[in-house]
Structure 1
């Protein structure tokens, strides 16, 4: 089988398109790259959507933690403390067990003029349940990063906004939030890189894969178990993650330049690649 045919047969297998049966023996390097690359569709899915949803939630958590109202501040503080203080794998396990306890057929939500049934069985699937856990986890870490940037805003910026008559939402949107992003972006870049690497833990969680076709680590483990040689499959998955890290560093670097475009060259914060092996 040629490498092109392998790509056609297994390129989208992780989402149920293409050949359903995996190769049994005589694995080629092309099959390693194609099948593991196919599994990265799910890693991209988890990473991109968790990063997107977690970004907005992290901003809300950071603002809530900076609030003077204890009814707003305390829940944000405990949210950050719990999700930063417990291992991500334990969060996957507890979330799955909690979702399983929910009624599988859903529950009725009365709206007055009608009643709708909210589906809950989806929460036990990896595409939704694991995504929720990753979103909450990255929101806690990013929320603490944004909170630190919020406390580091120069007082002169806020005083200048007050002098122009800005207050409330206009001051936050036009003065405070851009400064928060500019100060927090290098640290948030590292959090984004770690989030994509943390998507491999979905394979070890209790959440079942889509049609038994999982992420990149699923296929790497399959090859390793069949060949008893981990030095072929796992370097391939590491190669893909290195490419993702380089892409994220480049994309976030462009955003960082945009955020700091008004500053002199010697004052601009640069994005540096700092691998985070464990946290």
Structure 2
């Protein structure tokens, strides 16, 4: 089988398009690159949606934690503590069995036991908690001079937050938030190893890398391929977030614009 034919058969197999059966023997390098790359589409799906939706919730959580009202502050603090204080793997595990229980109550909950919905909810809540703590720290770090200047111009309430506090909070938090986004994409590899089943072998990049490692008894080919794909994905994320960072700091002199630095988390 040519590499072109392999691409036709397996390029979108992770989403159910193409050849139904996986190769069983005589694995070629092209097959491994194609199938692992196909599985990476799931990682991109989980990461993009979780980051974008989690960012919105994180803003509300950060404001809640910074609120003077205990009714807003305490729920935000406990939410952040719960999802930052427990391992993501355990969150996947318990969420899956919770969703299975809900599935037995009503068929409306059936999608939650599938990775595309259930695991996505866990990633959304997890990254919202971590991002909220980053945004909260940035919110508390806004220079007092900015607030005093806003007061001097008569800005208050929503207008002050929208025009002064929120843009400054974004500028301060963005480098750290970029690292959170990168780590979330890496964390998507836990989905199919934490309880949520891969239906009809439609798994992510790590699922297929593990498949080839088990079949060939040689992990030194599929896992470097997996690492290669995630390095490329990380470079794309850094480029996209770097453009946003440049836009957020467009009013500053070039020498004073903060640079993005990738600092991986060793423990989540």
Counterparts of 1:1-279 in structure 2, within 5 Å, are 1-104=1-104, 106=106, 119-279=108-268
Once the two structures are superposed, residues 49-105 of structure 1 have per-residue CA deviations (whole angstroms, 9 ceiling, x without a partner) of: 000110000001000000000011001001111111110000001111111111436
Once the two structures are superposed, residues 93-146 of structure 1 have per-residue CA deviations (whole angstroms, 9 ceiling, x without a partner) of: 111111111143627xxxxxxxxxxx1111111001100000111001000000
Residue segments in structure 2 that go unaligned for 5+ positions in a row = none
The alignment's TM-score, normalised by the length of structure 1, stands at: 0.93
Q: CA RMSD in A?
A: 1.2
Residues 11 and 34 of structure 1 are in contact (CA less than 8 Å); yes or no, is this contact kept in structure 2?
A: yes
Residues 200 and 215 of structure 1 are in contact (CA less than 8 Å); yes or no, is this contact kept in structure 2?
A: yes
My pick for the range that moved more, 260-269 or 72-81, is: 260-269
Structure 1 residues 76 and 209, CA gap change in structure 2 (3 angstroms): same
Structure 1 residues 269 and 226, CA gap change in structure 2 (3 angstroms): same
- Partner Cα distance (2:199, 2:185) in 1: 19
- Partner Cα distance (1:35, 1:276) in 2: 28
More helix by proportion, 1 or 2?
Answer: 2
C-alpha deviation, 1:195, in angstroms: 0.2
Residues 105 and 121 of structure 1 are in contact (CA less than 8 Å); yes or no, is this contact kept in structure 2?
A: no
Query: Hey, which bits of structure 1, 4+ residues long, moved more than 4 A?
Result: none
- Partner Cα distance (2:23, 2:53) in 1: 37
Aligned residues: 268
Residue segments in structure 1 that go unaligned for 5+ positions in a row = 108-118
